[in-house]
Structure formats: C-alpha cells, structure tokens
Chain A
C-alpha cells in the first residue's frame, strides 16, 4: 500500500477508536462496543506497525528504526504540504 493510502486508512481507524473511546467512557459496560473497540485496535496496530516500518516514525517512543541519523526530524510534519 502506498504511503498516502496507508496513512488515510490509519487515520480512519484512529478516528473509529477516538469516537468509540468517548462512547465507552460513558458506557463502560457496553460489551458489544468493547469487542468492537478491541477488534479495531488490533487492525490499527497492524497498520501502525506497517506504516512505521515502511515510512518512518509516527511516535518517536514506539520507533526504533533510525540507524545513523534520527528519522524523527524528517519532513513532512503534519502542517506541511
């Protein structure tokens, strides 16, 4: 999957998690939503790890792919074109 498509898919899964998280905060006993959250979180982890291994760090703390130079500073930053 190319970089932009992968980022788009990851953004969509992150959004699903963000929205489900808020729902679960006020409905912590909704077991269907807990199961849905867990299944989206599993898919998201696979895409997140794939993205970082192919295209560099999304969070510095979960990335150990830099070799002789520090990849975290590489452009683009999210506000750049």
Chain B
C-alpha cells in the first residue's frame, strides 16, 4: 500500500506561465521515457525479483517515480496556470488546448497518449534490470534536452534535480544487477 504525503519531493516555485515549456515537459509525464512509464515498469517488475535487495530496489525506485510524476504534473500545471488564449495560441499550445484545456494529460510532447507498450515486464530479473538501466539513461537524456530548451531558473532547478535522480537510479539498478549475477553465480552473461 501507499501513504500519501501532502507535499512535493522537491520544491516547485514556477511563477511565470510558459505553455511552450509545458508542452515539452509533458513528455516526462506520459511519454516513453517519462515518470508514469518508469513507475509502472518498476512496480510491475518487482513481483518477479529474486531476493529482498532487488525487491526493495524496484519497489522503492518505483515509488519514488510516483513522486516525480507528481512533480512533473505540478510543473505542467503551473506553466499553464494563468495563460490566456493569446499566449496559448502564440506558444503553439492551441492544439493541446482544444483537446484538454489546461488539464494535465499523460501524453508525449507530440500529443501521443500514454501506452503500456512503452514498458516491459518479462518475468526475468536480468532481462528486466537491463531494461531498467536503459530506461534511466533515456530519462536522463530527456531531462538534458528539456534543460537545453528551458530558460527560467524556476523550471531548470527541478529538472536538474530529476536528472540527478536518474543518475542515482541507474547506479542502484547496476548494483541490483550485480546482486542477481552473484545469486546466479557461475552463469556467464557477457
């Protein structure tokens, strides 16, 4: 089960609406390398992890991704909050506006809705952990591209925090993979 805490993992103080940036950042909400995909991936794969360390790692990183999903949703909401129709039109947000108003919808920056086809759960810990390592690298790369597209420090700071978390998760998944390899000692993987 989960316990909801009524606060964010990292403070978000966005003051200025910027629908263009919301349209880009939404990909980390509902895109292939986004936080929804990450949380569902790890929380689904945890059921077939082989020991306490690897179960805990997938469970706890999957849970942290839910906190990141909330941060990204908050960023999109704040970037749209207070934007008038003229700003939405000028920012290229008009196509999103007619579908969702200023609601936060799980889609990528090109408007493709979220799909579970973005993730796998293969029932084998080596297979799943190697997917997870790649997923963290792809998410980190996406955050770097988003940072390159941002100019407001209030947007850049939480993006940098989230980028850093991908680096830490990559490290932990690498250690989890080594733990599984030790459990299966003698078996050659490379």
Residue-wise, chain B 73-111 has the 8 Å CB interface mask toward A (1 for contact) of 110011001000000000000000000000000000000
CB of A78 within 8 A of CB of B70, answer: yes
| Inter-chain contacts of B11 with A (CB < 8 A) | 8, 11
| Inter-chain contacts of B52 with A (CB < 8 A) | 28
CB of A15 within 8 A of CB of B53, answer: no
Question: In whole angstroms, how far apart are the Cα atoms of A10 and B3 in the complex?
Answer: 17
Chain B nearest CB from A70 CB (Å) reads 13
Main secondary structure of the interface of B (DSSP, over half): helix
**With known contacts A28-B53, A79-B78, A22–B168 Cβ distance under 8 A:** yes
CB of A79 within 8 A of CB of B77, answer: yes
| Inter-chain contacts of A15 with B (CB < 8 A) | 9-10
**With known contacts A26-B175, A61-B3, A78–B60 Cβ distance under 8 A:** no
CB of B57 within 8 A of CB of A22, answer: yes
Q: Which residue of B lies closest to A77 (CB)?
A: B6
| Inter-chain contacts of A22 with B (CB < 8 A) | 57, 60-61, 64, 168-169, 172
Chain B nearest CB from A77 CB (Å) reads 7
How many residues on chain A are close to B (CB under 8 Å)?
A: 25
B183 at the interface (CB under 8 A from A): no
A31 at the interface (CB under 8 A from B): no
Main secondary structure of the interface of A (DSSP, over half): helix
Residue-wise, chain A 59-78 has the 8 Å CB interface mask toward B (1 for contact) of 11100000000001000011
Question: In whole angstroms, how far apart are the Cα atoms of A26 and B60 in the complex?
Answer: 11
Question: In whole angstroms, how far apart are the Cα atoms of A20 and B177 in the complex?
Answer: 19
B189 at the interface (CB under 8 A from A): no
Chain B nearest CB from A13 CB (Å) reads 12
CB of B10 within 8 A of CB of A11, answer: yes
Which positions 28-81 of chain A face chain B at CB distance < 8 Å? 28, 57-61, 72, 77-79, 81
Residue positions of B touching A, CB distance < 8 A: 3-11, 15, 52-53, 56-57, 60-61, 64, 70, 73-74, 77-78, 81, 168-169, 172, 175-176, 179
Identify 23 residue pairs between A and B in the complex whose beta-carbon atoms are under 8 Å apart, listed by A's number: A7-B7, A8-B11, A11-B7, A18-B9, A21-B60, A22-B61, A22-B168, A22-B172, A25-B56, A25-B57, A25-B176, A26-B57, A26-B179, A28-B53, A59-B4, A60-B4, A78-B70, A78-B74, A79-B73, A79-B78, A81-B15, A81-B78, A81-B81
